Amino acid sequence: MAEEVEREEVEEDGVDDLDLSSSAGTSRGTKIIGVLLGVAVVALIIGGVGKLSGTGWFGYRTWMYEGGELYVLNSNLEARFVSVDGLEPVEVPARNAQRFDLIGGTSEITISKTADGAPLSTENITVNKSNALLKLTDEKCLGVFDVGSYYTQGGDGIPSLVKKIDKGDRVTVLESRNTVWPRKSFPKRVQPSDGKLLAVEIVGCDLFEDEEFLTSYIGHQIAERFKKDQEGSGEIVRPKL
């Protein structure tokens, strides 16, 4: 009888040890799952911050691409509101323009009549180390001119037409961050690594039929503006491109 009792106690002790081991394993597994879930939540929060700010999940757009500037031209008789990547809408006054910072990669541009109104249209614009232009109407034509010779030692100061922006062209990516927008001043210096120096000018659409006259006409206007803009510095700064 004593042996049987001892045998039973041994068996019971074995069962107790097994239960404790199983419980400890379950507890460790639960802790591991909890840690993994915590890491996932933190990662989701960090990645979501980039998404909400317009830089994409984990801010990938800031290290995969280089941004630029968006010039929005509003030829309407009333204001429009423009939002970039879901950010707060900004007013673009009637018959005027507004500039926006663009993160590299593809940005969603939303246009509406009021700050809280329904979107009138949406444009997707993809840039990488480039400025871009967005027209809100089909009324205007613009010419894009290479004016780098104004900043080159021994340059002839004659612009060359590199791109026509016709009435129906809403979005134009310029492939350069050196841009002189319509009626804006010429910079004192140019960063060559940002691309060619381009002047964007509003022109009559019919002038596209005679490029030689267009270049001559715009060249005269640009020359006068360049001279005026540089006079304030006492000298014309012409770094090599």
Cβ 67 vs Cβ 102: under 8 Å:
yes
Joined tokens for residue 181: 């927008």
Tell me the C-alpha distance between 39 and 30, whole Å: 14
Pick from 241, 82, 237, 60: nearest CA to 171: 82
Per-residue pLDDT at 36 exceeds 50: yes
Model confidence over 15-28: pLDDT tens digits? Answer: 455 454 556 666 77
Instruction: Tell me what the mean pLDDT of segment 83-93 comes to.
Output: 95
Q: What is the dihedral of CA 14, 17, 22, 27, to 10 degrees?
A: 170
- 3-class DSSP state of 200: strand
Joined tokens for residue 175: 């492939």
> Which residues have a Cβ under 8 Å from the Cβ of 215 and sit 6 or more positions away?
145, 158, 159, 160, 161
Cβ 91 vs Cβ 114: under 8 Å:
no
Supply the pLDDT for residue 38: 61
Sign of CA dihedral 46, 127, 138, 214: positive
- 3-class DSSP state of 161: strand
Instruction: Tell me what the mean pLDDT of segment 206-232 comes to.
Output: 86
Instruction: Annotate 90-150 with DSSP letters as a single string.
Output: EEE-TTEEEEEEE-SEEEEEEEESSTTSPEEEEEEEEESS--EEEESSSS-EEEEEE-GGG
Supply the pLDDT for residue 232: 61
Instruction: Tell me what the mean pLDDT of segment 177-194 comes to.
Output: 90
- Per-state percent for the chain, helix, strand, coil, to nearest 5: 40, 30, 35
Tell me the C-alpha distance between 47 and 57, whole Å: 5
- 3-class DSSP state of 31: helix
- Residues forming a β-bridge with 201: 143
Model confidence over 89-113: pLDDT tens digits? Answer: 999 999 999 999 999 999 999 999 9
Q: What percent of the chain is predicted at pLDDT more than 70?
A: 70
Supply the pLDDT for residue 158: 82
HSE value, Cβ hemisphere, 13 Å, CA-based, for 170: 9
Model confidence over 130-154: pLDDT tens digits? Answer: 999 999 999 899 999 999 888 876 6
Per-residue pLDDT at 240 exceeds 50: no
